[in-house]
Amino acid sequence: MEMLAPEDPRRIGAYRLLARLGAGGMGQVYLARSDRGRTVAVKLVRAELAAQESFRERFRLEVNAARRVGGEWTAPVLDADTEAAVPWVATGYVAGPSLSDVVAKGYGPLPERSVRILGTGLAHALRSIHGAGLIHRDLKPSNILVTIDGPRVIDFGIARALEAADMGITRTGAVVGSPGFMAPEQVRGLRVTAASDVFCVGSILMFAATGRLPFGGTENSHAVMFRIAEEEPDLGGLPAGLVELVRDCLHKDPARRPSPDELLARTAGPVPETDGEPWLPGALVAQLGRHAVQLLEVEHSTGPQPRVSLPQPQPQPYGYHGAPAPAPAPATAVAPTPPAPAVLTTAPQPPARRGRRIGIYLALAFVLLVAVPVVAGLVYAKFMADDGDDGTKGSGRDTTPVATGRNSPAPEGDGDVTPGDITRDDGNNVPEAYIGTWRATSTSAQGERVHTMTIEGGTSGEKVMRLVETAPEYECVWSATLKSAGSPLELGPSTVESGEPKWCGPGAWSRLEMPDGSTIVRELVGSDKTPLRYTKQ
């Protein structure tokens, strides 16, 4: 979460804003609270979108349909004003980080049991969404929030409203959506159906179980879309018990994919409420508990707040196309961040379940508060909001075209994260071959960037890597601890040792492979950029 900026409004509708959660293709997302004390996430539409009647009409229809979506597997739409100068929508604030953050930045790939329960939750969510006459169209890990009770799906119906926006995107051949999580018919520009969402479920289950995408990374979106449309998925590393299910979801022919009801039957098993076991690994449950504590620490001023008028819609210039330019505050088009994590589920729940959940969170909060040194190494606190890319800060990727709001490129360093194979090794010592100083270079419009990585010996949890990245406009220094030894070598999330916050941000955990004795390929888990190749100095 980020503090409200001076230009941010202090109220939207009946909701008092508390903090910024992030931004995405549609606009800025805020943590807010109603006068009755209900915590919500309020999404304020970008002003340039609000100026387009095609967007407004679709947004109006989709919000009305989304209000009909019920069930405990989605974030409910609670309130909206589609006729305001700058439209907004308020949804239930759901407990947990995004699946993208969990896999790429926090815990790593989930065990098979957790992935099966994830599939069950997604099937339930799709039944509710499709039952309201909606198709999600942009189902991906950053639109799935992970809670102690199961997954929750957000942002259903929004992709179609964005498609209707007359920003020149569809007319210039760009795609609104996320190439790594699109169905073949969507890639080809054909009719999107409920079966398209099922295809996305297959990609999501693969990502959740392995950290990889079935059709490769997204460093080249056109290549990924070609593989989705024409090639068979690569299911390497997927547990045997999930292979057939995922392959069926990823069938090129929509008619041959399972329905949500069939998905439920094939992923059926005890749910966390009935078998007494959490659906997530213990370390991840601890992270969720810490996340709950963080919400309790959110403070806001009770004194008078300056009132800031909402920006008036501004039309796009004639002939505008490509990524949208930054909008007037507060709906500035900035790099998107992962979906809004929250801490108290606001959807209606059965009384017994609600009591159990509150008890779990209170117990977790107590354990974490008295045992922070024990769990500190397990918690990755940088769970952010909404769908996508925040430059050097490291996040799950959203390929919806958006402007970064600055001309200078972000560093190539630890702020970027890339999906890739994830393996585990219980060894404790850094192999001798990895120890030493390694160098790589990359280029930008401003000139050459030099990446110098020094690896030292150590055991799990100890600091073993220092990375210095220098460029004409900045210098950043990161460090990382050993996560898992062996080959490939795995390093924990990187932290900033020095450098300007404008350029340097913490990164995800990484994997170092050595194809030969003089080269290391460092892959940042969850990034859409090609891994850098380092040579020994």
* Residue 242 to residue 203: CA distance in whole angstroms: 12
Q: What is the three-class DSSP state of 417?
A: coil
Amino acid at 257: R
Tokens of 319: 């002939």
Tokens of 111: 């065990």
Whether the upstream peptide bond of residue 214 has omega within 30° of 0, thus cis, is no
Amino acid at 469: E
Q: What is the DSSP string of 507-527?
A: ---EEEEEEETTEEEEEEBB-
- Sequence-distant (6+) residues with CB within 8 A of 103 are 109, 110, 141, 207, 208, 211, 525, 526
Q: Find out whether 43 is annotated in a ligand binding site.
A: yes
Q: Which long-range contacts (CB under 8 A, 24 or more apart) does 278-285 make?
A: 278/148, 279/113, 279/114, 279/117, 279/118, 279/150, 280/110, 280/114, 280/146, 280/148, 281/107, 281/110, 281/111, 281/114, 283/107, 283/378, 284/102, 284/106, 284/107, 284/110, 284/146, 285/148, 285/364
* Residue 149 to residue 147: CA distance in whole angstroms: 5
| Residue corresponding to tokens 């308020």 | 90
Q: What is the three-class DSSP state of 222?
A: helix
Cβ atoms of 194 and 130 within 8 Å: the answer is yes
* Residue 335 to residue 357: CA distance in whole angstroms: 34
- Sequence-distant (6+) residues with CB within 8 A of 155 are 136, 138, 143, 339, 387
Q: H or E stretch including 195?
A: helix 194-210
**Composition of the chain by helix, strand, coil, percent to 5:** 30, 20, 45
Q: H or E stretch including 22?
A: strand 15-23
State the SS3 of 93-161. CCEECEHHHHHHHHCCCCCHHHHHHHHHHHHHHHHHHHHCCCCCCCCCHHHEEEECCEEEECCCCHHHH
* Residue 287 to residue 7: CA distance in whole angstroms: 33
* Catalytic residue, candidates 8, 79, 101, 138: 138
Tokens of 181: 């999580």
Tokens of 22: 């992030």
| Residue corresponding to tokens 């009132």 | 307
Question: In 266-425, at which residue ranges do the beta strands (DSSP E only) sit?
Answer: none
Active site residue 138: yes
Angle between helix 194-210 and 240-249 (nearest 10):
150
* Residue 159 to residue 354: CA distance in whole angstroms: 31
Q: Which residues are annotated as a binding site?
A: 43
Residues noted as catalytic: 138
Which residue positions form the known binding site for ATP?
A: 43
